[in-house]
Amino acid sequence: MARIPFRERLAQGGTILLDGAMGTMLHAQYRLPMDTCFDVLNITEPDAVAEIHRRYLQAGAEIIETNTFGANRYKLADCGLERDCAAVNRAGVTIARQAIAEAGRDDAYVAGSVGPLGVRLAPFGRVTPEDAADAFRIQLAALLEAGADLLIFETFTDLHEIALAVEVARQLDSSVPIVAQMTFTRDSRTVLGDTPAQVARALYETGADVIGVNCSSGPAHLLRIVQLMRRAVPEARFSVVPNAGWPEMAGGRVMYPATPDYFGEYALAFRQAGACLVGGCCGTTPEHIHAMRQALDDPARSAPPVLSVTELPDTVTVETPEEPTELSRKLAAGHFVVTVEMPPPRSFTAQKVIASAELLREAGADFINVSDSPMARMRMSPWAVCHLIQHHVGLETVLHFPTRGRNLLRIHGDLLAAHALGVRNLFVVMGDPTKIGDYPDSFDAHDIVPTALIELVKHNLNKGIDQAGNSIGQPTSFVVGCALNVNTHDLDREVRLLHKKISAGADYALTQPIFAPEALDRFREAYEATYGPLQLPILAGVLPLFGARHAAFLHNEVPGIEIPEDIRQRIADAGDQAPAEGVRIAQELLTSLHGRAQGVYLMPAFGRYDLVASVIDALGRSRPFRQG
């Protein structure tokens, strides 16, 4: 079928399928580092770029994007090729056009890919709008002269920058179709704080033919964002182009967990949400695009229901006297302990947190784990929340203490402050990278890794000296926990890492959510085969599932979580009763974890502490630990 003008294709209706990631494919196939200047491969390795285009066309993509996302003079300057900006962009269009011809896909379109300049525009940076416009003009003129059918502006974080880029494109060619997409943080805002509704209205005012969201995170998150955008501007056309979940490192390579089948389901959900343009961003492959193509073309398939969650209402808090620390004593005595994770609030009010902690205490929780800026999202300082819970609820807390974003000076100060507030149980982790959170450009370095921090606490602070050997007046009395992933694909590496943490002085370990207790057995056997009996108390992670969408999201998009098919099927079959079924599954897991672990680390989904309380209620208070 011959290619018709792109706007005519839009007018025909239906959902148009974009391609997937280019950088991911180049990284995976040619083992190129992720910081490679991929755009320059248009000149140096055109055949490699063309082959990836052909694979996406064969998978069923109707639009392929040029390998020019970062081909502006600012980013190319990092490679010393800023003078070749026009040539790199022209080559990108030529390669894509040739790939279409070789694949026999005369109906496919070439989209000129344009990303942000990689520098901050005034007033947030030193680049003037005039200089930025000149940079966009060079790239856009080359893409248009080479024959791009449309332009896609993607992964922008600054509304002013993308509006400027679209304006320059209109000045060069007022008739060119434009797709304008922004990226969001985990809190569903842009880096500069704009909401999906604000973004939708601003992008619509630029006159772009299609507006939307790309990159950011996985399908579930982007579905919610596009729904909010469409609610704000229902007359607009929308695009949704998610990543394949959150990335993780495996064998020195960046891996994305979301499967092609998962993307196929979400292609239908995106269509149902009103998207006319869908595709894949970081981590997606031709297999993901093929699954989306099959789903969109199958008239018998329908989109799965979308999970909707409401917050628990505020309740009255009750003050109780502060109680002394008990975690170390309970672990030493062999008690089967129960701790529950709670994130700090996003404001300075903590009434809901305190009320929820009260609910959990009454249900029988032994401790509350307070996380520190989970998913790199802005939150109240966790040691303040720990202090409030201990003071108002009388329930001992465990402070999550990430090393990321802290230098040694801040580490010492924060730990001494926590101790002064009576917070003496720690859970040491690396922490989430800032690039996935509210402020992706913020400081993200660290002076020491978790193992070294465990050693600093146990062998320095708990002996009355700091890292430099100076006296701190008197010893601290911290109990220190470490992270453990028993679901890892590299079991030997995790075994070695845990042994290092034990040698550093770890007192206990908390695992990622476990849905197959046998994974804990396999890990213990692997550890003991190398290092002998594993004496470290392990608290196994248990996460009550809320529904089929929730289970699919965890299984596909969260590194370190694997949910057996039979459990996912049970949740799916439960329908509206899925939350109750999730509680039953969690109760069964708790039963099977007796004798395997010395306790559980419960993680409520969507803040549903009432469901976790039901899990704890069923556990009962007779919980001696017996390792069989």
Residue-by-residue DSSP string for 253-291: EEE----HHHHHHHHHHHHHTTEEEE---TT--HHHHHH
Closest CA to 244 of 410, 93, 21: 21
Successive 10-residue mean pLDDT values, the chain, 628 residues: 89 96 85 76 95 97 98 93 95 98 96 95 85 97 98 96 98 98 88 90 98 93 94 97 78 71 95 96 96 95 56 32 64 92 84 88 92 73 89 92 82 89 90 61 70 92 85 87 92 95 95 93 95 95 93 85 92 93 92 90 90 82 40
**What kind of architecture, by CATH, is found in domain 6-297?**
Alpha-Beta Barrel (3.20)
Report the distance separating Cα 66 and Cα 50, nearest Å: 10
> Length of the chain, please?
628
- The amino acid at residue 239 is S
Q: What is the pTM of this model?
A: 0.68
Burial of 445-479, coded b for 16+ CB within 10 Å and e otherwise, reads ebebebbbbbbbbbebbbeeebbeeeebeeebebb
Where are the domain boundaries for CATH 3.20.20.330 in the chain? 6-297
Class for the domain spanning 327-544+580-619:
alpha beta
pLDDT of residue 79: 86
Residue-by-residue DSSP string for 593-620: HBTTBSEEEE--STT-HHHHHHHHHHH-
pLDDT of residue 439: 57
Where are the domain boundaries for CATH 3.20.20.220 in the chain? 327-544+580-619
Strands of 238-242's sheet, edge to edge?
16-17, 275-278, 238-242, 210-215, 178-182, 150-156, 109-114, 63-65
pLDDT of residue 304: 65
pLDDT of residue 302: 76
